[in-house]
Structure 1
Amino acid sequence: MRVLHIAKVSGMGGTERMLLGLLPHLRSEGVDAHMLVLASDDADRFVEPLSAAGVPTQTVLMNHDVSVRALPMIVGAARRLSPDILHTHLFHADLYGQLAARFMRIPSVSTMQSVMTFFSRQPYRALARAAHANAFATIAISQHVANYLHSTGITTPSKTEVIWPGIDVGGWRADQDRRASARAGLGIPADAFVIGMTGRVTQGKGHEVLLAAFEQLGEDPTVRLVMAGAGERFGNVTALASRSPFADRIHMPGYCPDIKSVLAGFDVAVVPTTPDLDEGFGLVAVEAMAFGLPVVASSLGALTEVVADGVTGTLVRPNDDAALALALRALRDSPA
């Protein structure tokens, strides 16, 4: 079976990491998976490792939300590949890819990886409904996403399958050598208590909330904060961190292609997402769990499906830096 996957990519985020794990695995299982990237900004951060993993990948430059090139390029790629299924991911790929599938009469599937709040407004709702009406089925990566799609009328329960993303946990455990190497690379003492966050530095990820919580633990000189990732708000968050009275204990290494090498140095992972973003799944929480790390996350969106409060982690009120600090202090004082 040959499947052409399509997604608009501007960097390496949760959707891209899911595809980077999924597509090589599908090919190893005999599925002829191909990738067409509607590329902008830092799309190479996804394209290069995906190609290196053996997935045939094409790119179409798409720096804006509307592109006259996207549809004919998708149609051209589909004609060359003759896929059995066309699989779109997120809004832009749904809009152009599902139209191409309809035009070429190719069976299609859509995967929704996030809650897109603009679907509550027109014309986005009508466009999304039309795209998903064409798809044979819509895959929602959490029940939270499925509920949103149903409440907005984008698709129906009878056409929706909830499939939680997974990761290959091989190689995710940290040993002492790996831990020491990760900390040495960041200039962090071996005996420090490291609070860590990974992911794109964008609006709604909660970096400011974590900084405020960290400052409430600042009286302890052994506590360090690592916020790994890049994005449009990297400069803003870096400037805010530089003004902290504990700036010398805040580490922002930027984009890290090998996320395992960063997680290996953490004692706890934080996912402080705020309500203005919501959370369609929370892959970073799963990755941290694969390392055996405790997770402190906001009690919103699909994070309540991923993190079992008091079992696999701790859920705190969104935007509540005091509650977050309290949870982190409890973990510092009871590391076992």
Structure 2
Amino acid sequence: MRIAMVSEHASPLAALGGIDAGGQNVHVAALAAALVDRGHDVSVFTRRDSTDLPDDVTAPDGYRVVHVPAGPPAPIAKDDLLPFMGDFAAGLSEHWTADRPDVVHAHFWMSGLATQLAAGPLAIPTVVTFRALGVVKKRHQGTRDTSPLSRTKIERLIARSADHVIATCSDEVTELVRMGIPRRRISVVPCGVDLEQFQPAAIASADPTRRGRLVAVGRLVPRKGFDLAIAALASVPDTELIIAGGERSDVSDDAEAKRLRQIAVAHGVADRVRLVGQVSHESMPDLLRSADVVLCTPTYEPFGLVPLEAMACGIPVVATAVGGFLDTVIDGVTGVLVHRRTPAAVADAVRRLLADEGRRTGYGMSAADRAHARYSWEQIAVDTERVLRSLLPEPVVAQHAEMAEDGTRDGRLDLV
């Protein structure tokens, strides 16, 4: 297939750790690479945010990245990009008129908007992955939600116009059905994890003198719930908490980092909390493997890559029972889901795990097994391919089936 992927604010080539650079960048890059490995021609369309960027570039993993002019060629917060989506759509239309893809897969709601505007007149099949829904964000963030006021209305129109919607977790399916989207037009395809990079460390003998370590990772924004993790630490003695996240390695001037340090002082744990700033994707496995438990305590999380990466490293997870965590973390098997979002409940779950090395080891082994069985990028690409291929017109499907007879490609149309 000739697949166009649209990711208006999250380039697969961007450095991670910024305020709008995270899981979507990783997802788009890894999925594009995995689809190329399966023999597809993949182009990722993203907004030009620098004058230094070429018009298009081929990534090391074989997919093409096309930088589409839309608004000033400079970084712009994703919530401020809506006025430029008309220009972005016009750029997509120009590209697709000259070089038509078989199908378009949009990531995030504004990508979905531009995709529908460009692909609709050209009758190109479209799929959208929202990654986060405005109605959920508004519910949890209230007045702190900086999304455009029209977001929820536009999302509903996008979902109804798309040929198919890919949800990343079961919780999102429920929300989409409430929005009036027929269940038959929704498939669940989660995010994946790089199993070559994130894998368990060799078993080492325990150091009885080492104090416990909790690791929490994410952007330094209030919804990630690091304040809850710090408050819980007050009831977990002889244990340190490492918080990794931010736009730079030095977060001394970051407003959220300052707030978290004040909370640590107020709870009497300032000497046991370390904010280490941005950690490179290459260094992240070592940080996760250094933990006894990886702690994930957001107020909500549309999917969340951190538990998956920890699980792939064989580290048990304690997570609040929200969003995508309800699918990825199997309570009592790969970690613990905390249903009461209080410091006492989080601290109790952590203490029980830290006190039971055998349980931690068992959870870690089960976590690694689950990551390999369900969340490899190869599997995610297979599941995505099935959805995309199911939307192709019959002549195109037949063409791909003929190619499969030569052994170059899997031409089966499996139901999702």
TM-score by length of 1: 0.83
Task: Return the match for 1:296 from 302, 318, 334.
Answer: 318
Distance in 1, matches of 2:204 and 2:307, equals 20
Shift of 1:196: 0.6
**What amino acid maps onto 1:85 in structure 2?**
V
Task: Return the match for 1:110 from 128, 135, 150.
Answer: 128
Q: Which residue of 2 aligns with 1:124?
A: 151
**Do the aligned partners of residues 309 and 39 (structure 1) sit closer, same or farther apart at CA in structure 2, a change above 3 Å counting?**
farther
Shift of 1:134: 2.6
Distance in 1, matches of 2:256 and 2:230, equals 9
Local SS of the residue matching 1:204:
helix
Shift of 1:237: 3.3
**What amino acid maps onto 1:77 in structure 2?**
H
**Do the aligned partners of residues 97 and 328 (structure 1) sit closer, same or farther apart at CA in structure 2, a change above 3 Å counting?**
same
Task: Return the match for 2:102 from 78, 84, 88.
Answer: 84
The answer on whether the counterparts of 1:6 and 1:38 sit within 8 Å (CA) in structure 2 is no
Q: Which runs of 5+ in 2 are unaligned?
A: 11-18, 140-147, 359-416
**What amino acid maps onto 2:244 in structure 1?**
A
Q: Does 1:310 align with 2:332?
A: yes
Describe the superposition over 1:59-96 as per-residue Cα deviations: whole angstroms up to 9, x where unpaired: 34562232142121222332344211111111110111
Shift of 1:4: 1.0
Q: Which residue of 2 aligns with 1:175?
A: 201
**Do the aligned partners of residues 293 and 26 (structure 1) sit closer, same or farther apart at CA in structure 2, a change above 3 Å counting?**
same
Describe the superposition over 1:120-172 as per-residue Cα deviations: whole angstroms up to 9, x where unpaired: 9974344223322332111111111011011022x211211112233242342
Q: Which residue of 1 aligns with 2:373?
A: none
**Do the aligned partners of residues 264 and 127 (structure 1) sit closer, same or farther apart at CA in structure 2, a change above 3 Å counting?**
same
Distance in 1, matches of 2:27 and 2:124, equals 24
Q: Which runs of 5+ in 1 are unaligned?
A: 180-188
**What amino acid maps onto 1:145 in structure 2?**
E
**What amino acid maps onto 1:3 in structure 2?**
I
Q: Which residue of 1 aligns with 2:393?
A: none
The answer on whether the counterparts of 2:45 and 2:66 sit within 8 Å (CA) in structure 1 is yes
**Do the aligned partners of residues 283 and 246 (structure 1) sit closer, same or farther apart at CA in structure 2, a change above 3 Å counting?**
same
Local SS of the residue matching 2:222:
coil
Q: Which residue of 2 aligns with 1:59?
A: 67
The answer on whether the counterparts of 1:4 and 1:35 sit within 8 Å (CA) in structure 2 is yes
Task: Return the match for 2:289 from 248, 251, 264.
Answer: 264
Describe the superposition over 1:289-310 as per-residue Cα deviations: whole angstroms up to 9, x where unpaired: 1111110011122312221111
Q: Which residue of 1 aligns with 2:4?
A: 4
The answer on whether the counterparts of 2:134 and 2:152 sit within 8 Å (CA) in structure 1 is no
The answer on whether the counterparts of 1:207 and 1:237 sit within 8 Å (CA) in structure 2 is no
Describe the superposition over 1:231-284 as per-residue Cα deviations: whole angstroms up to 9, x where unpaired: 69x62332134332433332222222222232122211111011xxx2222221
Local SS of the residue matching 2:229:
helix
Q: Which residue of 1 aligns with 2:217?
A: 198
Q: Which residue of 1 aligns with 2:376?
A: none
**Do the aligned partners of residues 325 and 104 (structure 1) sit closer, same or farther apart at CA in structure 2, a change above 3 Å counting?**
same
Task: Figure out how many residues of one structure are paired with residues of the other and give that number.
Answer: 315
Local SS of the residue matching 2:83:
coil
**What amino acid maps onto 1:206 in structure 2?**
G
Distance in 2, matches of 1:108 and 1:190, equals 56
The answer on whether the counterparts of 2:169 and 2:188 sit within 8 Å (CA) in structure 1 is yes
**Do the aligned partners of residues 175 and 3 (structure 1) sit closer, same or farther apart at CA in structure 2, a change above 3 Å counting?**
same
Q: Does 1:216 align with 2:258?
A: no
Distance in 1, matches of 2:305 and 2:105, equals 20
TM-score by length of 2: 0.68
Local SS of the residue matching 1:104:
coil
Q: Which residue of 1 aligns with 2:387?
A: none
Q: Which residue of 1 aligns with 2:112?
A: 94
Shift of 1:13: 1.9
Q: Which residue of 1 aligns with 2:353?
A: 331
Distance in 2, matches of 1:136 and 1:152, equals 16
**What amino acid maps onto 2:67 in structure 1?**
T
Distance in 1, matches of 2:122 and 2:230, equals 50
Q: Which residue of 1 aligns with 2:191?
A: 165
Local SS of the residue matching 2:27:
helix
Point out the more displaced range, 4-13 or 60-69. Answer: 60-69
Q: Would you tell me which structure has more strand in proportion to its own residues?
A: 1
The answer on whether the counterparts of 2:169 and 2:323 sit within 8 Å (CA) in structure 1 is no
Percent of counterpart pairs with the same letter? 25
Point out the more displaced range, 98-107 or 110-119. Answer: 110-119
Describe the superposition over 1:189-241 as per-residue Cα deviations: whole angstroms up to 9, x where unpaired: 99332101112222311111111111222x42xx2211112269x62332134
Shift of 1:323: 0.8
Q: State the Cα RMSD in Å.
A: 3.1
**What amino acid maps onto 1:128 in structure 2?**
E
The answer on whether the counterparts of 2:226 and 2:260 sit within 8 Å (CA) in structure 1 is no
